[in-house]
Amino acid sequence: MNYMIQTRSRRFALYGLTIIAGILVSCIVLALIGYNSNQKLPVGPEITNRMTPLDKLRLSEALHLKTGLGDAVWNGYADLDAPVIIWNEDFEFLLNLNIPPVNWEEVPGDDFAGKPYFRRPADHPQNFAVQVGEQWAGSIFTKYQLDMSLITAISDLLPPLISEIFPYKIFIQPSELQIAGVQHELFHVFQALHFPEKFAEAQTTYQFDQGYWLLDSDMQPAWKKEIELLIKAADSSFDGDAVELIHQFLAQRDRRRQDFGLSADLIAYEESIEWLEGTAKYVELRSWEEAGRDPNYAPLVEMTADPDFRNYEDFKSQWNQALRQTRRQAGEEGDVRFYYTGMLQAYLLDRIMPDWKERILEDGIFLEDLLREALGQ
């Protein structure tokens, strides 16, 4: 009897050691895979004082997308003819402008679409609409800068040993993300040109930013409920269900504002940033979506040379990622929350108020106002 117990014990011990050995081997294999994968991460350009061929190609496709499908996304957007700034860690490059303002120099021996382009040292560049002399330009980072910003942010959160073997390659983004991002920033130019007063007023509400976020930690549970209702409405397959969920979303929004005593200024901050950034986020995603589902749209043939371009075939994955990001924003501080809540409201308006883009031109009209109007509130 004791012999049988000892035999079983040894078997269990051997079984346990086998499991542990298997786990260790798996960890070593995964570590080697991660380490080897990291050796193949994109390498930044050796020369940063001019655009790379891939930077030019992606921007060309972004402008091709705007011209080809811009009006399917927002009437009049296809005709927008505005300068563009693409930037890396060292330089900003200015394109689609014949005569640059002071402090910009022509890039010698290079061109974009057969025309000269210009540069200046990068000094706190941003992703937004920026004024270049008397004109507005859409400004955005290169795809390499985008990828590296994500990888660096993740690496900074990991212990040193883990950061060496973590498989960062899974975070390399499809080129569509940067191409659609160009639409986002160019739409800010569209806003500045077509709704100049509303565009300026939205930016002035940032003066209430600090006061708003002082309240936010207490509001986050209520925001979580609000965002969940908004996501369910946007992701609903049936318009009737969506309408009921929009009712609940608006009621929860009103309740939150009343419970926490939000002033008119703080409410204006929410509405204005949802209009400013939410509609731009909407244009970003809708451009990607239209490119993937319109059988008459063809990307530039040269895009086959881009290893990260996926022919706009994975919009559903991007949409799901946007919904996940929206959920995370309930517990995050910062105006990015309103990019997503505004974007989802815009998508809902596509369903229940098809002419909403004409109404949003009016001063003092915001996305939630149109949702309320569509519901007869």
Give yes or no for residue 280 having a pLDDT over 90. yes
Rounded percentage of the chain residues whose pLDDT exceeds 90: 77
Report the mean per-residue pLDDT for the chain: 89
Q: What is the pLDDT of residue 348?
A: 98
Domain assignment present for residue 177? The answer is no
Q: What is the pLDDT of residue 110?
A: 98
Q: What is the pLDDT of residue 217?
A: 95
Range of the domain at 341: 195-374
**Residue 17 Cα distances to 8, 25, 30, 62, 272, angstroms:** 14, 12, 20, 56, 61
Q: What is the pLDDT of residue 2?
A: 53
> Is residue 158 located within the same domain as residue 216?
no
Give tens-digit pLDDT for 109-134: 999 999 999 999 999 999 999 999 99
> Is residue 210 located within the same domain as residue 278?
yes
Give the C-alpha separation, 154 to 34, whole Å.
14
Taking the chain, what is the end-to-end CA distance rounded to the nearest angstrom? 80
Q: What is the pLDDT of residue 156?
A: 80
Q: What is the pLDDT of residue 199?
A: 97
Q: What is the pLDDT of residue 25?
A: 40
> Is residue 28 located within the same domain as residue 76?
no
Give tens-digit pLDDT for 47-82: 999 999 999 999 999 999 999 999 999 999 999 999
Q: What is the pLDDT of residue 161?
A: 75
Q: What is the pLDDT of residue 322?
A: 97
> Is residue 129 located within the same domain as residue 204?
no
Domain assignment present for residue 158? The answer is yes
Give yes or no for residue 21 having a pLDDT over 60. no
Give the C-alpha separation, 182 to 192, whole Å.
16
Beta bridge partners of 118: 94, 106
Domain assignment present for residue 47? The answer is no
> Is residue 166 located within the same domain as residue 224?
no
> Is residue 353 located within the same domain as residue 256?
yes
How many domains is the chain partitioned into structurally? 3
> Is residue 105 located within the same domain as residue 62?
yes
> Is residue 224 located within the same domain as residue 331?
yes
- The pLDDT confidence band at residue 16, using thresholds 50, 70 and 90, is very low
> Is residue 338 located within the same domain as residue 271?
yes
More reliable by pLDDT, 34 or 125 = 125
- The pLDDT confidence band at residue 43, using thresholds 50, 70 and 90, is low
> Is residue 100 located within the same domain as residue 31?
no
Give tens-digit pLDDT for 180-223: 999 999 999 999 999 999 999 999 999 999 999 999 999 999 99
In this prediction the pTM is 0.88
Give yes or no for residue 283 having a pLDDT over 80. yes
Give yes or no for residue 174 having a pLDDT over 80. yes
> Is residue 7 located within the same domain as residue 153?
no
Domain assignment present for residue 86? The answer is yes
Domain assignment present for residue 180? The answer is no
Residue 42 phi, psi dihedral angles, 5° rounding: -55, 140
Give the C-alpha separation, 29 to 6, whole Å.
34
Average pLDDT over residues 28-55: 65
Of 2-6, 248-252, 356-360, 367-371, least confident by mean pLDDT is 2-6
Domain assignment present for residue 123? The answer is yes
Domain assignment present for residue 178? The answer is no
> Is residue 92 located within the same domain as residue 156?
yes
Domain assignment present for residue 48? The answer is no
More reliable by pLDDT, 223 or 29 = 223
Give the C-alpha separation, 377 to 371, whole Å.
9
Give yes or no for residue 24 having a pLDDT over 50. no
Asked whether 92 and 76 are in contact (CB, 8 A), the reply is no
